[in-house]
Each structure stands twice: as C-alpha cells, then as structure tokens.
Amino acid sequence: MSVRVLIGAQWGDEGKGKIVDILTRDTPIIARYQGGANAGHTLKFDGKKFVLHLIPSGIFHTHSTCVVGNGVVIDPVQLLKEIDAVKEMGANPETQLKVSKTAHVILPYHKVLDSVRETSKGDNKIGTTGRGIGPAYVHKMGRTGVRMMDLLDEKTLRSRVESALVETNTLLTNLYDAEPIESDSIVKEYLEIGKKVAPYLCDTSLLLHEAYKKGQKILLEGAQGALLDVDHGTYPFVTSSSPTSGGATTGTGLPPNAIRKVMGITKAYCTRVGNGPFPTELFDETGDSIRSVGQEFGATTGRPRRCGWLDMVALRYAVRISGINELVVTKLDVLNHLDEIKICVAYTVNGKTVTEIPLSVDELENATPVYETFKGWKKDLAYATSFSELPDEVKVFLNYIEEQTEAEIVIVSNGPDRKETILKTDFII
C-alpha cells in the first residue's frame, strides 16, 4: 500500500504539475486536496504547454483516475472549461475525473467580495488572485457555503444562496459601497451548471478509501506551498487553506495513518507571487536574470514572480511541519549561467543569528539572510540522464540540501519538458 502526499515546500510555483505528471505513470489515482483555481500547474510535453487550475495533472495519462477532493473550493465554470480543454488534448474526463459532492462552490459573489476586499486594503494588499478562493472558504467555515451536490437541488441551492447573500449584500452596500447581488440569476445559472457537472460527482472519500484498502497507489496533490499555509505560513500573507501534509487528510477523507511518504518540491532558488516577507529576494541583475531564464510569471495571473536565492531556513521549516522525507529539486537548469550560487543558511534578526524561521511576520520582513556561497556549474544540464552524470558542482549543491534538510533528493528537474527529469535509480514511484 502506498499513499504519497506531494506538496510545495516553498511559496508555491515549484513545478508540482510536472512531477505529478511523471509520478502518474505508475500511480493510478491522483487526488487534489485543497485550494482552488488560484493554482496553476504547468505541463510541457510533445512540444506543447498545458496549464491546469483544478483538474489534477495526471489527467493526460489515460489509465489514471483524477479526483478533486472535498477540501478544494471549485469554480464550476472553470471546471467545465478545463474539462473541455483536456478532452481536446486527448483525455477522457467522463471516465477519468471524479469530483467530490461535498466540495464547496465558488459563486459570483465570492469573486466580487475578493475584489472589493483586496481593493479596500490599499497598500496592505495580500496579493490574492481575485478568484474568490478566500471568501468561499470564509463561507465554508461560517457554515453558509454551497456544496457541489447543492447544485443539483433547486430548493437547497436557493436557500443557501439567499442565506449567504443576506450578510454578503450587507457588507457590499454598507462597507464597500458596492452594488448588492441578486439571487435569482445565480440560482438559475448554477442549476444549469449543476446538470453539466452532475456526471462527475461522487463520494470521493469512499472512492479513495476503497482504493486504499485494495492496496492501490494514491498520490495526494497539494496546491500552492507550505509557506502559504493558513496556519503555518507567513500569516496574513497566506492562502486560505492548508497546503501542508495535514491538509491532505481533511481534504480527501483518507486517515493520517494511510500516508506513507511525503514528497516536497523545491526550486533550486526561491520565488514568491504577491506580497509578504521574502528574506532572500533579489533586487539586482541576478534576480532579473533568474526571472527571465526561468520564465517566472504566474501560470494563473501572469504576474512576474519575485525571485531570490534558496532559503534553507524556510525549507527546513517546511520539511519539519509536513514530515517531508522525499525531496524534488526543480529548475536546476535556470542557474546554469551563474558563476556563483548562494543558499541562505540563517537569518540575522534584531542583531541575533537564528536558524529557525521567526513566527512573527514583522521579524521575518526585517530578517537579513546569512549565505553560503557555492561554485556554479556553468554548463547546460540537458545531457544528464542520471545523478551520476551531473557535474560535481551540482552534486555538492544537492548534497548540501540533503544534509541541511535530512530528506533524500529523489528527483531533479533539469528542464521544463517531461523528458528533462532525472530519477534516482532506486526511487520507487
């Protein structure tokens, strides 16, 4: 029996989509467990580029079953667009895709709330995608949310929408000076949407449990990254869910003791989208070159990502809070052109050197990184098909990461394409 959780070990955008795609070759079930269409998982193969926001990246392997779990907040309009898109690419969502009946729905008023709230914050914006994710989770926790199965019943849908709009319209008109939202058009539109998504809905918790009992391999796919976790991230500059491994159990219905492996994905450097502390952020030509070479622009928003050196203090923290025992290092090739490569090993905070991440966002904002410097490899890595073929400078760099995190690096990515991936010879998917 093998249930593996795959998480981003930084602030998201680590290249999870590509790794999910690779692991799916020998994993029949892939389940997304949190977040929403604010995630963008990019795949490149056969000379084409694909970006998925809700459907797990394994959908392009026809043997796979792709599950959107109960912990995800779903924009059904976006879901239907993706279903049509993956059909055109050769996938068969009618047989491959299963969506939780109890996953919560993002409705038009969630996007309106997201927009007006973010605008009202002025210079203190969080930097949300504006996709309605946060407000949908607020309604979920406030017990005024709409679930996917509610789209199949007019009475239930109308009752829940009208109940949610009592408070929502009060906020919009009295606090944000915005127009109120009318319920009838939403109910009408989403009942029609419900008919289209109905064939994909099921009890995904039961489906996963039965597969687990049969000993089938299951991959639980997180979105965003550990440092954006609502409990353990750089609060308040976080997402509205739990991308850490703990979120995998509540977001799917599988028990914690089912999980055998936790795989963390980290870039060979760091990026962050939106606002919030980023101790190793680079504001010089090196940062610009990493952004340019790495094509660091958000898959969901197109926003340029902030770029910086690999932060070992933050990575060790991500390993600790999620129990990461396998590491994947992506985008090694982006650093090919650099003479020197740095890794942050500690911070200076209030005149003291610290090796654990401060829980205060103000302290983290003012943290000064302490670096170790490594010699660059200054060569294209595309030729390498095994760890043994990598340059010595790369091996030193990777060994240092393993020593610092006490987690084994089992995969490295040396290019954007599916084929540009190196697996350790003894790695078992």
Check if the beta carbon of residue 74 is closer than 8 Å to that of residue 104.
Answer: yes
Contact 43, 52 (CB under 8 A): yes
Beta bridge partners of 73: 104
Q: Which residues have a catalytic role annotated? A: 13, 41
The two tokens of residue 233 are 């991230």
Secondary structure element (H or E) that encloses residue 179, with its range = none
Q: Compute φ and ψ for 338, nearest 5 degrees.
A: -90, 140
- C-beta separation of 415 from 45 below 8 A: no
Geometric angle at alpha carbon 131, from 130 and 136, rounded to 5°: 110
Can you state the angle between helices 76-88 and 183-197, rounded to 10 degrees?
Answer: 30
Q: Rg (Cα) of the chain, in Å, rounded?
A: 22
**Axis-axis angle for helices 108-120, 154-170 (nearest 10):** 20
Q: How many residues does the chain have?
A: 429
Q: Is the peptide bond before 279 cis (omega within 30 degrees of 0)?
A: no
